[in-house]
Chains A and B, each alone.
Chain A
Amino acid sequence: MNDRQSRPMIEIEGLHKYFGALHVLQGIDLSVAAGEVVCIIGPSGSGKSTLLRCINHLEVAQQGRIRIDGEIAYRDEVGGVFRAHSNRAVSAVRAQVGMVFQHFNLFPHLTIIGNLMEAPVHVLRRSRAEARRRGMELLAQVGLAEKADSYPEELSGGQQQRAAIARALAMDPKAMMFDEATSALDPELIAEVLAVMRDLAGRGMTMLVVTHEMNFARQVASRVIFMDHGRIVEQGNPAAIFASPREARTQDFLRTVLER
């Protein structure tokens, strides 16, 4: 669509993932360009979350190739399987891609600003002062500046998720992944999190978003992907996917979720 989308940030080729006999990802090919916002929709159990977790190596795919910003991640150039890299090398790749979880997963024993400072100080070796300055900046960006010294459990679900987004941003990631970031929230708290995500998209962040929020996908995504049974069934710009889906499975799914 525009020139900043030329460089691929996340590239996936032929990704297969099994849980025992269950073939969860059946050959995923996907490329997310810099600045692109890709929303993945689909029924539960279709492998959407597993795909994100494989990109961050929280799950280990059995076959395929993942590149983050052009670099092959989590395996040797020559090796056929995902095993070769050390703990430290895997961690270094992960640090480049931010992840936001359904259940926030803030660290309950640290204050909000402590949550934001933890990885920049101990992984990126930034000074505490620098990490705090950047952390406060990000908390202001997500509207939580006054909650810096609170503990996570003192915050509402929506505030916790906004803090979790800020925590991921504190690592200055090249891309952000959202794994059903609003699914655990009460309906009245969903909007504030989506607003933060929308703002982030507007700032040009590369985003890969697994979501059930069809309006968000329709309005914010540069591309929508429909997944079912471990495969990408259909993809295209949101107008095309929502207005005139080609595949019968996409039509069925959209009819079900949009009729609610």
Chain B
Amino acid sequence: MIELFNVDVAVENFGPLLAGLMMTIALTFVVIILSLVGALLVALAGMSRITPLRWVIKGYIEVIRGTPLLLQLIYIYYVLPEIGIRLASFTAGAIALTLNYSAYISEVYRGGIQAIPAGQHDAAAALGMTRGLAMRRIILPQAIRIIIPTLGNYFIGLFKDTALCSVVSIQEVVFTAQIIAAQNFQYFTLYTVVALMYFAVSFPAARLVGHLERVTRAGYRRRHP
């Protein structure tokens, strides 16, 4: 145990670990897209005038919030096959993360939509816009601008949460490191490289979110050349 960090091991395994990171990033983007849409549908359904629909949505959100994400992953991958639903590991991971993040992000959408003053709804209605048109053209564009920084932070969290998908054997970066470490026992080197990889993505992403936060807070102004 003379040197903890073995440069040769790091170089030798950099390729496979990078492939794992790419899988992590791919999974993150798939879930971002699915949950952006899913959360909007959940948020709108949760504000619907149809009472039973609101109850179903409320129940779904409470179940997701009241159970661990790890358990949700395991449930979808290991329990559903017992009732005949067999999913590939990537599909199972993407579904579990989407269900989880859609629930949380729907609350972000809801908060953003409710932050728009009632006067905006009144003005849109008085101009003859239907509820749907007003939502699409007037309310959502303003709400989305408000919630962009919050969404950014959620997605950085998602990027890190994908590590849990190692339990459903998606070949993302943590699972890849586990497999290699099981053969050469170079834990320190391998997991340090993995940590640096996560940091190399999430640190710039956090800076970008900070920048977006300043931009969106600045208000609506004409861009003077």
- In A88-130, which residues have CB < 8 Å from any B CB? 88, 91-92, 94-99, 101, 103, 105-109, 111, 118-119, 122-124
B151 at the interface (CB under 8 A from A): no
A-contact bits for B127-144, CB 8 A (1 contact / 0 none): 111110100011001100
Q: Are B127 and A119 interface neighbours, CB within 8 A?
A: yes
Interface flag for B80 (CB, 8 Å): no
Binds B, one of A67-75, A150-158, A200-208: A150-158
- Total chain B interface residues with beta-carbon distance under 8 A: 23
**CB-based contact B128/A119 at 8 Å:** yes
Contact of A91 among B125, B145, B221 (CB under 8 A): B125
Is the Cβ of B127 less than 8 Å from the Cβ of A151? no
Interface pair A95/B128, CB less than 8 Å apart: yes
Identify which of residues 60-91 in chain A touch chain B, using a CB-to-CB cut-off of 8 Å: 87-88, 91
How near does chain B come to A123, taking the closest CB pair, in angstroms? 4
Q: B2 interface residue, CB < 8 Å from A?
A: no
Identity of the chain B residue whose Cβ is nearest the Cβ of A53 in the assembled complex: B122
- Check A101–B122 contact: CB distance below 8 A: yes
Chain B positions 196-223 with a Cβ under 8 Å from a chain A Cβ: 219-222
Q: How far is the CA of A40 from the CA of B222 in the complex (A)?
A: 38
Q: In the complex the two chains form, is B130's CB within 8 Å of A103's CB?
A: no
Chain A nearest CB from B142 CB (Å) reads: 5
In the bound complex, how far is the Cα of B221 from the Cα of A152, in angstroms?
9
Please report the total number of A residues contacting B with Cβ < 8 Å: 36
Q: A residues within 8 A CB of B145?
A: 109
Main secondary structure of the interface of B (DSSP, over half): helix
- Interchain CB contact under 8 A, A109 and B127: no
Contact call A109/B128, Cβ cutoff below 8 A: no
Complex-state Cα separation, A115 to B206, whole angstroms: 34
A99 closest partner in B (C-beta): B126
Among residues of B, the one whose C-beta sits closest to the C-beta of A103 is B119
The one of B119, B129, B138, B220 in contact with A151, judged by C-beta atoms closer than 8 angstroms, is B220
In the complex, the chain B residue whose C-beta lies closest to that of A92 is B128
Q: Contact partner of A108 among B130, B137, B142, CB < 8 A?
A: B142
Instruction: Kindly identify which residue among A58, A107, A171 contacts B128, using a CB–CB cutoff of 8 Å.
Output: A171
Q: With a CB–CB cut-off of 8 A, which chain B residues contact A101? A: 119, 122-123, 126
Kindly state whether residue A181 has any CB partner on chain B within 8 Å.
Answer: no
Chain B residues whose C-beta falls within 8 Å of the C-beta of A107 in the assembled complex: 120, 123-124, 138, 142
| Bound complex: CA A103 to CA B129 (Å) | 19
Chain A residues within CB distance 8 Å of chain B:
56-58, 87-88, 91-92, 94-99, 101, 103, 105-109, 111, 118-119, 122-124, 149-154, 164, 167-168, 171
Given contacts A94-B126, A122-B129, A123-B129, 15 further A-B contacts (CB under 8 A): A56-B125, A57-B125, A58-B125, A91-B128, A94-B128, A96-B128, A105-B123, A106-B123, A107-B123, A107-B124, A118-B137, A119-B129, A122-B133, A151-B222, A154-B221
Cross-chain pairs A/B with CB under 8 angstroms, 15 sampled: A58-B122, A58-B125, A87-B130, A87-B131, A99-B123, A101-B126, A105-B123, A109-B142, A119-B127, A122-B137, A123-B127, A124-B128, A153-B221, A154-B221, A167-B127
